[in-house]
Structure 1
């Protein structure tokens, strides 16, 4: 069990507008018990697998996702078994804020993991930002390859001048100038124009997967 179960439970509570007290009653525990499950302080206690399974059942999500962050909320165990038997590779999924630590140390706190085709085993997976009403129902995970050279219209994970945090951009180079759009939206004017030595390319996006939320 990874400790990300705390964040997953909190997200489910918020998404479903459920209080700690309501959850406690549903699984036959006291309100204070749920509080101790979710705190990061010295009063923290750890739920049993059985309690996490009850919580998963209450929210109608898969227990392997809630306990271990494997797959998504609704990935059936048979799908994971099928993916594993077909030589799929499991990749940990990271937020953009965790990418710097991952690349510097090789380790970072993940948001879970997803099965991907084996040809993407050398990639790392990062949550891709989506906006509008889509963001309330779907997560997008982008697989990023550090070894590829980008070409025009590629979506890349990169750092812009003056910003230490990486983000996703679409790049088009005209002459010696790189035109930069945020994400994959090139319908508006570019947000930046930079030179090769002013942008740090961390990797090129080559594949992605959508995961439906509750």
Structure 2
């Protein structure tokens, strides 16, 4: 049986504990599935890819659970709106991506066109939208706020600071950042994306050193052929 703290979740008003800890029985359709109380709420609301919507759930219950889920995310301290100058941890951004699956699908919003008529435009929102504000324009559309640019600026400052400290510790000359090979290195890291593990001592001392030596020797051999011809 779920503990008292979990029982306070609205999902337990419309479901009961199943045969296992993560199994929930739906009070409306009688279906049973794994995934815990969050998956059960997704089942009631509908629109989530990992669980089928409950066909028997009343509309007012569906909207009640949807509002509960949205309010729970909006009030989570990790997802509160932050000022551009505040420190942003990239680990929090990664966690927000993982948490986004719990966000109920947003409804289609009506946006007036410049001619005065209303056209439907689907706006998908998730936790990251709390960081990046949008402003309404007179034409009825949206224009980007400064949030994305400010966030990139803050994250870049963090990266440059960490790299500079590493340079100072390693005693590298300042002009090493002007090498073309350094640009290739930055581009390779960018393409890899988050989660890249740093090179190991063995990789730089043995594995890749041998590869570079082999490349140089191959170039020298090609030139030797030209010298003898």
- The structure richer in helix per residue is 2
Question: Which protein has greater RCO, CA pairs closer than 8 Å, 6+ apart?
Answer: 1
- The structure richer in strand per residue is 1
Which interval holds the TM-score relative to the shorter structure? under 0.3
User: Quick check: which has more Rg, 1 or 2?
Assistant: 2
TM-score after normalising by structure 2:
0.24
